[in-house]
Each structure stands twice: as C-alpha cells, then as structure tokens.
C-alpha cells in the first residue's frame, strides 16, 4: 500500500477549512500507488484525492505538474486539476509534507486491459500530446535516458542479489541503447508513467489520466513506448499480448501516425523503458526495508520484456537466456 504519512482527522479538518469544499465526512488511505501518500476524502460537498508528496516528487517540481494538469484539464481532457484554497493556493504543507487536494475522477484502473480499452487509452495519449503543443512549461526527465547509467552505478553489484549476472547484463543492454537512442525525434511534455493503474476507465471509455508526477519534457514516442511496455504484458513480463500493444499504437496513430523512422526506433525506445523501470524498481527493491508498508514491485518483470523488444540481444544474456 502507499500511505507513508498518516494524517490525523483533526489536521485534515483544519486543512479543509481553508477551502470552499464543505466539511470533512470521511478519509481513507488508498492502497494503490507506490510513490505518494493518497487519501480518498469525502466532504459534505464532494469527493477529493488528498496527495502528500513523498519519495521521488520534489516540491520544487509541483508548480510544473500543476500547470500541466491545469493546461490539459482546460482542453477538456479528463485530467484532475488541483483545487485552490480560498487564497488561491494549490500547494500546501500537511504533516510536514508538500500536499495538494485534487479533483476526484470516476473510473477504475484495469488489471487486464482488452484491445478495445487499449485503443481508447492510446487515443487518449495522442490527444494529450496534441493538447500540449501550446504548453510552454519545461522539466528535464529526472528518470530519463541520461540518468540510467548513473542509477545502474548507484545500484552496483547489489543487483546480482536480484538475479546473478544482472549488473553486467543491464550494463550490456544499456550500452546498446545509448548508441541507438533516437534523440532526434520530436519532444514535448510527456506523462512518462502511463501504466494501466494511471488510466481510469469505465467500460471502454477513458475517464481519467492521473499521476503526472514523472511528467517532463522528453521524446514524444518514448511516452508511447513506456505505455506499450506497461500495457501489453502480464504482470510477470513473461506473456506479451501483441493485440493490446497494436491497439495502443493504432489509437495513438489517430493523432500521430508513426513515420518509418519512428517505427524503426520504437523497439529501442521500448527497451529503454524496460531498463528505466527495471532500474527504478531494483533501486526500490534494494533500498526499501522489508517491513515497509508498501508492496515492492518486481524489477525482473520489466527486464523480461526485453525478450520481445530485442530477442537477439536477450538470448545472449545470462539472466534472460
């Protein structure tokens, strides 16, 4: 679960008193998510999400994230803006953490998306990229391609405790990705973490795109590659559902049809996404105390996806052969 910071009922009632949102009725910690503490808050007027920012989200980046959410919400996309208090402030401090009260969106996140749902989600990502064409905020990708080698070095030989030979294998794949990385492709504001759990749906309709706390300026197609890697495999990374992956690309292509150059670069971008999530999960795996109240995610689930994106290279690796 992800509630790192406990918020007392008294502190929450005092916090809500600063907003025009009615009085506190109930608050429940939300189990999903790994990065931040989230509460579902019900007031006499409405439901909200209270987020306390932890771990990788730095308070200095919040103005960028909130500006992006406001921009996307203003274009009609189902993105939850932060609520401003009576003095117009959206960023607060609660129990010592940076905190925002966020609009609640309906919908559920899917564990096993169908191709029809993937089509709608790919379309939503395309619409999001089209909507940021006139967004002028900028944020470097704090988990972007240039950060993977330093993160690999920080994880170091401990990676071999996850799987013998993993450090050398990641170094090997990373060398290939660094050489082939298509840095010349289009850039824009991207979500960078649009996993199924960050898309709310009702049936085949997208009702929410959430969790923009890795959003940044980076390669537009890398966003789709992250989504492809996240959506079109089972949770172990062993089974690939090509129909779901194809549907994502088809939905996205309604806004941005892939060029031949982009099609040629896609596997490298997706392999990069595999490295990115293998490394961040491995770091968390190695650095989260076993008794922490959060479920650590399996780093190898993303590593195994390389068998689809680069089968020849994967067959040469000790950890994947």
Ligand X SMILES: Nc1ncnc2c1ncn2[C@@H]1O[C@H](COP(=O)(O)OP(=O)(O)O)[C@@H](O)[C@H]1O
- Residues in contact with ligand X by CB under 6 A are 2, 30, 32-36, 38, 49, 80, 102-105, 109, 197-198, 208, 210-211, 213
The tokens describing 295, both together, are 């479920």
Looking at beta carbons only, is 107 or 182 nearer to ligand X?
107
Q: What is 77-109 written as a DSSP string?
A: -S--PBPP-TTS---EEETTEEEEEEE----B-
Q: How far is the CB of 222 from ligand X (least distance, A)?
A: 19
Contact residues: ligand LJ64HWYM, CB under 6 A: 33-35, 193, 195, 197-198, 211, 277, 280-281, 297
φ and ψ at residue 48, rounded to 5 degrees: -140, 165
Q: Which one of ligand X, ligand LJ64HWYM, none interacts with residue 109, CB within 5 to 8 A by kind? A: ligand X
Q: Which one of ligand LJ64HWYM, ligand X, none interacts with residue 105, CB within 5 to 8 A by kind? A: ligand X
Q: Which one of ligand LJ64HWYM, ligand X, none interacts with residue 69, CB within 5 to 8 A by kind? A: none
Q: How far is the CB of 126 from ligand LJ64HWYM (least distance, A)?
A: 20
Segment holding 218, helix H or strand E: strand 216-219
What residue is closest to ligand X based on CB? 33
Q: How far is the CB of 22 from ligand LJ64HWYM (least distance, A)?
A: 28
Q: How far is the CB of 245 from ligand X (least distance, A)?
A: 22
Total length of the chain? 321
Looking at beta carbons only, is 194 or 265 nearer to ligand X?
194
Q: Do residues 68 and 135 touch, judged by C-beta distance below 8 A?
A: yes
* Listed residue (193, 265, 266) closest to 223, CA to CA: 193
Q: Which one of ligand LJ64HWYM, ligand X, none interacts with residue 193, CB within 5 to 8 A by kind? A: ligand LJ64HWYM
**Alpha carbon distance 117, 247 (integer Å):** 8
**Alpha carbon distance 230, 236 (integer Å):** 11
* Listed residue (309, 244, 243) closest to 278, CA to CA: 309
Q: Which one of ligand LJ64HWYM, ligand X, none interacts with residue 281, CB within 5 to 8 A by kind? A: ligand LJ64HWYM
Residue 240, SS3 per DSSP: strand
Q: Which one of ligand X, ligand LJ64HWYM, none interacts with residue 244, CB within 5 to 8 A by kind? A: none
The tokens describing 138, both together, are 């900028």
Q: How far is the CB of 109 from ligand X (least distance, A)?
A: 5
The tokens describing 308, both together, are 């689809």
């Amino acid at each position: 679960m992800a509630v790192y910071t406990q918020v007392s009922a008294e502190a929450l009632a005092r916090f809500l008193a600063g907003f025009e949102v009615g009085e506190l009725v109930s608050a429940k910690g939300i189990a999903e998510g790994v990065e931040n503490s989230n509460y579902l808050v019900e007031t006499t007027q409405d439901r909200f999400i209270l987020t306390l920012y932890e771990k990788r989200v730095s308070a200095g980046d919040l103005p960028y994230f909130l500006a992006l959410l406001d921009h996307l919400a203003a274009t009609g996309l189902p993105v939850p803006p932060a609520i401003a208090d009576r003095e117009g402030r959206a960023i607060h401090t609660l129990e010592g953490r940076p905190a925002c009260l966020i609009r609640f969106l309906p919908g559920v996140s899917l564990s096993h998306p169908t191709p029809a749902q993937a089509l709608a989600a790919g379309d939503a990502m395309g619409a999001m990229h089209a909507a940021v064409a006139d967004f002028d905020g900028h944020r470097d990708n704090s988990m972007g391609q240039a950060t993977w080698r330093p993160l690999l070095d920080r994880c170091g030989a401990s990676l071999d405790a996850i799987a013998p030979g993993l450090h050398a294998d990641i170094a090997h794949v990373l060398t290939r990705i660094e050489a082939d990385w298509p840095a010349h492709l289009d850039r824009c504001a991207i979500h960078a973490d649009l996993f199924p759990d960050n898309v709310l749906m009702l049936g085949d309709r997208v009702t929410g795109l959430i969790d923009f706390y890795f959003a940044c300026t980076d390669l537009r197609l890398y966003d789709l590659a992250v989504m492809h890697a996240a959506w079109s495999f089972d949770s172990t990374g062993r089974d690939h559902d090509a129909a779901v992956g194809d549907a994502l690309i088809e939905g996205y292509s309604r806004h941005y049809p892939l060029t031949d150059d982009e099609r040629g670069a896609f596997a490298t971008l997706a392999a990069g996404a595999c490295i990115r999530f293998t490394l961040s999960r491995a770091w968390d795996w190695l650095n989260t105390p076993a008794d922490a109240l959060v479920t650590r995610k399996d780093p190898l689930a993303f590593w195994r996806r390389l068998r689809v994106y680069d089968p020849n290279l994967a067959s040469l690796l000790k950890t994947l052969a």
